[in-house]
Amino acid sequence: MAAMDMENNGDNSDHQIKWKFQGNKDLNAASISVRGILNMLVDNLDKSDQRPCIMLGRGDPTEFPSFRTTPLAVDAVTDALRSFNFNSYAPTVGVLQGRRAIAKYLSEDLSYQLLEEDVYLTSGCTQSIEIIISVLARPGANILLPRPGYPQYEARAAYEKLEVRHFDLVPEKDWEVDLDSVEALADENTAAIVIINPSNPCGSVFKYQHLKKIAETARRLGILVIADEVYGHLVVGSNPFVPMGEFASLVPVVTLGSISKRWIVPGWRLGWVVTNDPTAILRKTGIVESIKNCLNITSDTPTFIQAAVPQILEKTNDEFFSKIIYIMRQAVEVLYETVAAIPCLTCPVKPEGSMAVMVKLNLPLLEDIVDDLDFCLKLAKEESIIFLPGVAVGLKNWVRITFAAELVSLEDALGRLKAFCQRHAKK
Ligand SMILES: *Cc1c(COP(=O)(O)O)cnc(C)c1O
């Protein structure tokens, strides 16, 4: 349309040219992206507010001093860089020593060994999502995604013209998968189900028995399980992290992950796609070949970052991990207790892991707030706090709050949240 208007403006000599290009509207599916909405909230901040803006809207706590990555990881990268050995292009599947180190790292949680050829290195878990969606996007196919979920899957599927069907995560059942709805949604064109565990946005960590039931359901339906474990090991509650790959003898599993969250280096862009394929189904169905072909035509993560992976994985000590978990555990306690004391908010489940939690807005108790987006816009403007409106993750009139934050900042934010809710409460 814009091209037509330009044409009609007419005072230039090019007016007879009919431009044959236009923007790809399939990309507009990504316009309600998390980043898009966060940018809108940031634009709505009151610049005259002297208080610091506290960002609790995304899973990137790098700005908080307690969430600085370990210097050992920085050493690993600088060592790789200074060696001058990694200035070349990387193999499209990833550098061998990096693949091997990830196979070893993930195998520690499995009852079988992954091999280096099961691992493909990517530019973060975001590219892992792009790859697996491209691999599965045949005409007519569909994929089952969780609601609430991680909107990168929806955006990428729309772009690849892969139909999306949503199953529910049930807050009254610790955000477990509604398996009946999964069975009802699937048909002969269903290719896969996506399971995000530990869950962004819910903060849940699935129990072994529930994961097994998901695997059994997927087996019955003949579909692939895509296990997004980008928050693997970021567990603050009592449920241990169990990788979906543990059930790969029942159903083929493709595990997606990265170092972005556990090492708190989302800017380093290093992730992986892993085929858990002990029964060789992923090889027989051409999934493995498609992954390789897809990697042949995409950009690689910088070679020196890939080469640093063995040192990053092997040298990072438990002290670094446990300090982060310790801070997040305290954060969860403070957040959960504060929210429980605010009448217009409900947190149905105390988070067990990841970096985020879903909190429900009780809108009838609020005076002049129409929905979750309105809540977040006013909270940004009046209190300089950024939460993610639930609509961005598929659940209207909820908000997603990130608890990976400096404790003092979180307490400050929660104080402002309380004041905001009191001010807007129905009298
Ligand atoms: C952050 C996140 C990703 C993307 O991870 P990157 O490594 O930063 O690309 C993928 N899935 C989920 C559920 C996430 O929260």
Written as six digits, the tokens of 264 are 């708190």
Q: Which atom of ligand 1 is nearest to the CA of 260?
A: 7
pLDDT band at 34 (very low <50, low <70, confident <90, very high): confident
Give me ligand 1 centre to Cα 154, in Å.
Answer: 14
* Interval 284-300: pLDDT, tens: 999 999 999 999 999 99
Tell whether domain 71-315 is in CATH 3.20.20.140.
Answer: no
Check: CB of residue 176 under 8 Å from CB of residue 158: no
CA 59 / ligand 1 centre spacing (Å): 8
| Pairwise pLDDT comparison (208 vs 30), residue with the higher score | 208
| pLDDT at residue 6 greater than cutoff 70 | no
CA–centroid distance, residue 266 to ligand 1 (Å): 8
pLDDT band at 411 (very low <50, low <70, confident <90, very high): very high
How many angstroms is it from 425 CA to the middle of ligand 1? 35
Mutation probe of ligand 1 site: the residue of 200, 305, 400 with most atoms within 8 A of C-beta: 200
Q: What is the pLDDT of residue 282?
A: 97
Nearest-CA neighbor of 161 among 139, 135, 187?
139
Residue 122 has pLDDT above 60, yes or no: yes
How many whole angstroms from 125 Cα to the centroid of ligand 1? Answer: 5
Q: What percent of the chain has pLDDT over 70?
A: 96
Please, are residues 211 and 178 in contact by the beta-carbon 8 Å criterion? no
Instruction: Provide the pairing of β-strand 345-346 with 356-361.
Output: antiparallel
Q: What is the token pair recorded at 250?
A: 């029942």
* Tokens 């999934």, located at residue: 287
Reduced to 3 states, what is the DSSP secondary structure of residue 91? coil
Residue 30 pLDDT greater than 70, yes or no? no
The set of residues, in sequence order, having a beta carbon less than 8 Å from that of 55 and lying 6+ positions away, is 63, 386, 402
Q: Are 215 and 195 spatial neighbours (Cβ–Cβ below 8 Å)?
A: no
pLDDT-derived band at 8 (thresholds 50, 70, 90) equals low
Ligand 1 nearest atom to the CA of residue 354, by list position = 15
* Residue 142 CB partners (closer than 8 Å, separation 6+): 162, 163, 164, 165, 187, 189, 190, 191
Residues 6+ apart with CB under 8 A from 105: 313
Determine the distance separating the centroid of ligand 1 and the alpha carbon of 175, expressed in angstroms: 19
Q: What is the pLDDT of residue 36?
A: 85
Q: pTM for this one? A: 0.94
Six-digit token pair at 219? Answer: 């087996």
Mean of pLDDT over the chain: 95
Is residue 7 scored above 70 in pLDDT? Answer: no
**C-alpha of residue 343 to centroid of ligand 1, in Å:** 32
Question: What does the domain layout of the chain look like in residue ranges?
Answer: 27-67+319-423, 71-315
Residue 271 Cα to ligand 1 midpoint, Å, equals 9
The pair of three-digit structure tokens given for residue 85, joined into one six-digit string: 């050995």
Give the tens place of pLDDT for each residue, 143-187: 999 999 999 999 999 989 999 999 999 999 999 999 999 999 999
Residue located via tokens 């398996």: 179
Please report, as a single letter, which amino acid is at residue 29: A
Which atom of ligand 1 is nearest the CA belonging to 126? Answer: 9
CA-closest residue to ligand 1 atom 15: 200
Residue 9 has pLDDT above 70, yes or no: no
Q: What atom in ligand 1 is closest to the CA of residue 127?
A: 9
DSSP state of 367: S
Q: What is the CA radius of gyration of the chain?
A: 23
Counting atoms of ligand 1 from 1, which one is nearest the CA of 270?
A: 7
Atom of ligand 1 nearest to the CA of 199: 13
| Cα–ligand 1 centroid distance for 382 (angstroms) | 30
Q: What amino acid is encoded at 127 in this protein?
A: Q
Query: Which residue's CA is the nearest one to ligand 1's atom 5?
Result: 125
Backbone torsions φ then ψ of 395, nearest 5 degrees? -135, 95
pLDDT of the residue at 33:
77
The residues, any chain, with a CB within 8 Å of residue 399's CB and separated by 6 or more, are 358, 359, 361, 372, 375, 376, 387, 388, 389, 390
User: What pLDDT does 233 receive?
Assistant: 97
Q: What DSSP letter does each residue of 190-242 carry, written as one string?
A: EEEEEEESSPTTT-----HHHHHHHHHHHHHHT-EEEEE-TTTT-B-SSSPP-
Give the atom of ligand 1 at the shortest distance from the alpha carbon of 355. Answer: 15
Q: How far is the CA of 129 from the centre of ligand 1 (A)?
A: 9
DSSP 42-74: HHTS-TT--SPPEE-SSS-GGGSGGGPPPHHHH
Token look-up 């400050």 returns 412
Length of the chain: 427
Instruction: Read off the pLDDT band of 1 (50, 70, 90).
Output: very low
Distance CA 229, CA 206 (A): 11
pLDDT score of 5 more than 90? no
Among 354, 292, 247, 319, residue whose Cα is nearest residue 99: 292
Q: For the domain 27-67+319-423, what is the CATH code?
A: 3.90.1150.10
- Phi/psi of residue 385, nearest 5 degrees: -120, 135
Closest ligand 1 atom, residue 196 Cα? 13
Residues with CB under 6 A from ligand 1: 59, 124-126, 150, 196, 200, 228, 230, 258, 260, 266, 271
- Helices 372-383 and 407-424, interaxial angle, to 10°? 110
